[in-house]
Structure 1
Amino acid sequence: MEIISKLSLNRWIANEEEKTYIEVPFAVEGQIERIEVEYTYERSDGTAVIDIGLRSPERIVGWSGGARNSFFVGLDKATPGYLAGFIPAGEWYVLLGAYRVPEGGCRVQINLKLVHNHPRWMKGDLHMHGVHSDGSYSIADAIQSGKDRGLEFMAFTDHNNASQNLSTLAADDQLVLIPGVELTSYKGHANLLGQLDALDDFRVLTPEHATTTLQRAVDKGALVSLNHPFDPDCPWELGFDVPYDAIEVWNGPWRPLNEAAVRWWQEQLVSGRKLVAIGGSDTHRPDPYVAHGTPTTYVRAKAESKEEILRAIRQGRVVLSFNTDETFIDLSIGKAGVGDTAIVDKEKEYELVVKINGAAGDKVQLWSDRGLEQEWIVANEGIYSFPVEVDRLFYRMESSRHLTDLDLTITSCLTNPIYIQRLTVGASV
C-alpha cells in the first residue's frame, strides 16, 4: 500500500524581494522514492511571475522557471528538467524565483507529497532490440511503445552493444529505463541487465570463456539471465554451470521452446534449486504477435527504481503474463509471497492463498515438487485457498487459455514459487 506524507507550505513574497531567489525548506525523513511538488499564486492581473525549482541537501536538482505548475523527482523517474536519483534524508528546499512581484506582494502556496518506499507489482519488459543492433525501433519509439502498452519499466538489450544505454541516460517521467545488453554468441545468448557497459567481449565459444565473461559482468553488478535456452535456432550450448541469476523461460509469443524451458525449470526446482524464471518479448520491430510487454514481466519491487526492480528479480518476486492487461496470479502463505520462503511448523496448519485476476475461462494449475497438485477452470476471478502440505519444497501456479481463432493453447500466466522450509526442532517461527 502506498504511503504518502503531505506537506503544505506558504511563503509571502514582498515586492522588495523581486529578482531574488528564495529557499523554502522542508524535511525529508526515511526512505523516500518520490517527491511531488505543485504550487499556485495569484496571477489574475498578469503582474506576478514566480519561478520554481528544487534543491536537495547537496545541490539543485531541477528548475522549471515559470513553465510548470507541478513536477516530481524520483529514484529513476523525473519530470523533464529534473534529475532522478537517490533521495537522501535531510533538509530540502523548494526554490522560488521572484521574477516579478506586484507592489502589494504575492503569496505562494506549495503542496508537497513525499511517497515512501513500498512494495507494489510493476509490469515491464526485460528483452528488446532496436536500431542499435538489428531492430527498427529508435529509443524514443520503443519508450513510446512501452507507454502505449501500459508498461512501467523497460530493459534495452541490443545485441553485443552498449550504445543504446548511452542514449537513455536522461530519466523518463513514466518509465524506469534499465540499461542492458544481450551477449549474442554462436553458442547462446544471455542478457546482462542494470549496468551501462557490462560486456567487454561477446566472442564466447566455450563454457570456460562463458564463465569468465559472465563473472566479470556479475562483478560489475549486472543481473545475468540465460535467454531462450531451448530455442532450436540459437540454444544455450555453454552449460548451466556458468554464473547467472535467472532463466528466460518465456520468450516472445508462447511456443514449444518456452514449454521446453518451463519443463527444464520445473526439474531444477524439484531438485531443490531456487532458480528465478523471467520473460521477455524479444521485440525487434512492429509485428502483430511480437510486441513490447508480450509477455509482461511483473516484478514486486519496493520502489520505482532499476535497483529495486533488479533486486526483486534476484529474489524471485516475478510473475509472467502473456499480455499487459491479461491474467495475473499472486500467491501467499501468511506473510510470504512469490519468491519468498515460508517457514512452517509441521505441527501447525497453513493456507496457500491464490489471488486470480482477469482469468475467466482459463485453466489454472497448482504445481509443487510433487508435480501437478490441483487443476480447475476459472469461472470468475477471485481468491482461492488450499491447505499447505508442509513436506513440499515449493508451490507455484500456471494458467493456460485456448485461443479459438488460432486453434492454439497458450500459457496465460506463470508464477515463480513460494518455497517451503520446515521449522527445525528447537527453533521458533
Structure 2
Amino acid sequence: MGRRVTRTLTPEDRAVSPYLEIPFEVAPGTPSIEVRLTFDRDRGVVDLGCAGAGAFRGWSGGARSRFVIGADAATPGYLPGELEPGRWAVVLGLHRIPADGLDVVVEIDTPASGPAEIEPPPPPRPQRRPRRRLPSDAGFTWVAGDFHAHTVHSDGTLGRAQLAALAVEEGLDVLAVTDHNTVSHHAGLGAIGDQYGVTLVPGQEVTTDRGHANAFGAVRWVDFRQHPDAWVSQVADDGGLLSVNHPLAADCAWHHQLEAPPPLAEIWHWSWLDRRWSGPLAWWNAWGWETIPVGGSDFHSPEQGRSLAEPLTWVAIERHSPDDGPVPFEAVIDALRLGRTAVAAGYDAPVLLRVDDEFVAVGADGTALIDAEGRRRPVHGDLVRFPAAPGPHRLEAPDAAVVAISP
C-alpha cells in the first residue's frame, strides 16, 4: 500500500515548529516500510526522520532522501525491529525554508518496495601507528582519543568498521562515534572495537538549529525536540556525560539557555583554524572553568580533506596499559567525568599534562606556559615540569597560537 503527500512548506510553518509530522498507519503484520522524500535541495534543507507507534525509530537529517525499516534490517540511522501497529509519522525538520516556500513530496510504501541500504564491508585490520608514551601519575596511562566522529548512520561516508580501522591507523585508542539524533550505530560497537583494537565509545550528537551536544555512554536515545535541560538530566540519569559541541562554530553555535551546564564542552573543534584567535578560550572562561575540555575532529569523510584525531584528546585511564587491548568505554567515561583530559592539535603535537601535582610540557620547546591569570613561563626543553596551579592552562607558540590546553 502506498501513500503520497505533497505540501508546500513556508516560513510560517517553520515559525509554528521546526518539526512537522506526517502521520500514517501501520497495520498489524506489516513487514516493512519505505519512505522517500523529494524536494529541490538547491533551494532549501529539510531533514528526515521517523517516529514509530511506540518509539522514535531513526533520523538521517539531510543526509538521505530514502529509508527502509524492517523487522531484521533498516537503513543506517534507523532501528530495525518489529513494526508495532498504529500511528507512525514521518518527521521532517524544517531547517532552511525559502521565503517563497518549498515544495516537498513524501511517499510512504507499506511494505517497502526495495531493500534497506547496508553499511560498507569491513576492511582488514591495519597496522597501528606506534604508540606515544607520556608521563602519567602512578597507576595511570594516557590514551589517545577523538570525541566526535560520524558514520553512514548519519551524514558520514564510512561504515563503523571503516572508521575503526582509520582510528587505528591514526594511533587512536579511543573514538566516540557520535551520529546525529540516532542510536542505530550503538549495536555492535563493542565487537567492532574489539576486532580492530580500539575503544569505540557509544555517542549521539543531539542536533538542533540552536546548538549541538554529544551524549557519551550507553544512554537511551535523547529526544532532540525537547529542551536541552531534559538532555542534561536524562544523560546524567543514564550514567553518561553530555558535552556542548563547537560552541562558536558557524551556523551551529550554541544558543540554548540551561539551568545547569553539562559537565563537558568541546573547547577545541576542528573549525578552530586560526588558533591565534582566542574565542574558544574566552567562551570557556565565560561558561565556567569547571567545564571539562575535550577536543573533536567532527570527522565525516576522507573526501573532506580533514583528518581524524585533529584535534586529539589525551585521557588518563586508571591502571591500564594500551598494550593490553581496548579499554572498557566505561573507564573512558569515568576518566572524563573526573576531568583527566589534555587536548592537543594532533597525535605527535606538543601536549600539556597534569602529573603528580605538576604541569608537564612534552615536545613543546620554545612555547610558553600560560596560567589562568595570563602569567607566562617559557618552556625550554622537550620535557619540562612546572608546579601546578588551579584553573586551565595552555601552551602558546611565539605567534600567540594555542598549542595545547589542560584543565
Moved over 6 A (4+): none
Q: Is the 8 A contact 1:180 1:198 kept in 2?
A: no
2:79 maps to: none
1:188 maps to: 211
What SS is found at the alignment partner of 1:282? Answer: coil
Q: Is the 8 A contact 2:274 2:401 kept in 1?
A: no
Provide closer, same or farther for how the CA distance between residues 400 and 290 of structure 1 changes in structure 2, counting only shifts above 3 A.
farther
1:285 equivalenced with 2:298 (yes/no): no
Aligned length: 261
Q: Is the 8 A contact 1:121 1:299 kept in 2?
A: yes
What SS is found at the alignment partner of 1:263? Answer: helix
> Structure 2 length as normaliser, TM-score?
0.59
1:73 maps to: none
Give the Å deviation of 1:253: 4.7
Q: Distance in 1 between matches of 2:222 and 2:241?
A: 15
1:316 equivalenced with 2:339 (yes/no): yes
1:400 maps to: 396
Q: Distance in 2 between matches of 1:321 and 1:144?
A: 22
Describe how 1:64-103 pairs up with structure 2 within 5 A.
none
Amino acid at match of 1:232: A
Superposed CA deviations along residues 246-282 of structure 1, whole A, max 9, x for unmatched, are 111011153369832221212445xxx5221111110
Describe how 1:42-121 pairs up with structure 2 within 5 A.
118-121=139-142
1:415 equivalenced with 2:406 (yes/no): yes
Amino acid at match of 2:282: R
Paired residue for 1:247, among 265, 270, 283? 265
Q: Distance in 1 between matches of 2:292 and 2:159?
A: 30
What SS is found at the alignment partner of 1:143? Answer: helix
Describe how 1:243-392 pairs up with structure 2 within 5 A.
243-255=261-273, 259-269=278-288, 274-286=290-302, 290-302=306-318, 303=320, 304-332=327-355, 335-336=356-357, 353-361=358-366, 363-368=367-372, 371-376=373-378, 378-386=379-387
Amino acid at match of 1:249: I
What SS is found at the alignment partner of 1:158? Answer: strand
Describe how 1:123-162 pairs up with structure 2 within 5 A.
123-162=144-183
Superposed CA deviations along residues 15-50 of structure 1, whole A, max 9, x for unmatched, are xxxxxxxxxxxxxxxxxxxxxxxxxxxxxxxxxxxx
CA-atom RMSD in angstroms: 2.6
- Structure 2: stretches of 5+ with no match in the other structure: 1-124, 126-137, 321-326
Q: Distance in 2 between matches of 1:321 and 1:287?
A: 23
- Structure 1: stretches of 5+ with no match in the other structure: 1-79, 81-116, 337-352, 403-407, 417-429
Q: Is the 8 A contact 2:181 2:205 kept in 1?
A: yes
1:203 maps to: 225
Give the Å deviation of 1:395: 4.2
2:94 maps to: none
Q: Distance in 2 between matches of 1:199 and 1:281?
A: 23
Provide closer, same or farther for how the CA distance between residues 384 and 276 of structure 1 changes in structure 2, counting only shifts above 3 A.
same
1:219 equivalenced with 2:237 (yes/no): yes
2:105 maps to: none
Q: Distance in 1 between matches of 2:346 and 2:386?
A: 25
1:104 maps to: none
Name the % identity.
27
Provide closer, same or farther for how the CA distance between residues 253 and 401 of structure 1 changes in structure 2, counting only shifts above 3 A.
farther
Q: Distance in 2 between matches of 1:148 and 1:138?
A: 16
Superposed CA deviations along residues 157-212 of structure 1, whole A, max 9, x for unmatched, are 001111111142414152111101000011110000011x53242224xxxx2212
Q: Is the 8 A contact 1:198 1:222 kept in 2?
A: no
Provide closer, same or farther for how the CA distance between residues 325 and 256 of structure 1 changes in structure 2, counting only shifts above 3 A.
closer
Q: Distance in 2 between matches of 1:259 and 1:131?
A: 34
Amino acid at match of 2:346: N
Superposed CA deviations along residues 115-151 of structure 1, whole A, max 9, x for unmatched, are xx93111111110111111111111111111000100
What SS is found at the alignment partner of 1:146? Answer: helix
1:232 maps to: 250
Amino acid at match of 2:402: T
1:420 maps to: none
Q: Distance in 1 between matches of 2:271 and 2:210?
A: 23
What SS is found at the alignment partner of 2:202? Answer: strand
Q: Is the 8 A contact 2:206 2:222 kept in 1?
A: no
Q: Which has the higher strand share?
A: 1
Provide closer, same or farther for how the CA distance between residues 414 and 199 of structure 1 changes in structure 2, counting only shifts above 3 A.
same
Q: Distance in 2 between matches of 1:253 and 1:381?
A: 28
Amino acid at match of 2:370: L
Give the Å deviation of 1:360: 2.8
Q: Distance in 2 between matches of 1:130 and 1:290?
A: 15
Larger Rg: 1
Amino acid at match of 1:264: W
